[in-house]
Structure 1
Amino acid sequence: MKKKDALVGYYFNNNLMHSIKGDKSLRESVYNRERAFNVVDENIDELARVWLYLLLETGAYRLVIGLNNTEVRLSSVFDPLNTEVHLAEDLLSPEYIDFHFNKIALKEKSQLIKRIYKLLEQDDSFEILSPQWQQSLLERNQKMGQLTNINDLRFILENIPKLRHLEGYYLRTITINLFNSTVSMSFNCDGTQIMSHKNFREFIEQYI
Structure 2
Amino acid sequence: MPTAAYVLLSSLALGTLYGAVFSWRSHSLLKLIIKTASTALLALWAYMVGGPLLVVAGLGLSSLGDFFLEADEGDKFLLPGMGAFFAAHVAYIALFWALPQADQSWLILAAQSGLILCGVLFIRWLAPWLPPKMRLPVFLYGGVILMMGAAALRLDPIFLPIMIGAMMFIASDVILSIELFKQPEGATRRPLPSIALWFLYFGGQALIAWGASPITD
Same fold (TM over 0.5): no
How high is the TM-score relative to the length of structure 1?
0.25
Give the number of the structure whose residues are more often strand, by fraction: 1
State the structure with bigger RCO (CA 8 A, min sep 6), 1 or 2: 1
Task: Decide which structure has the larger Cα Rg and report it.
Answer: 1
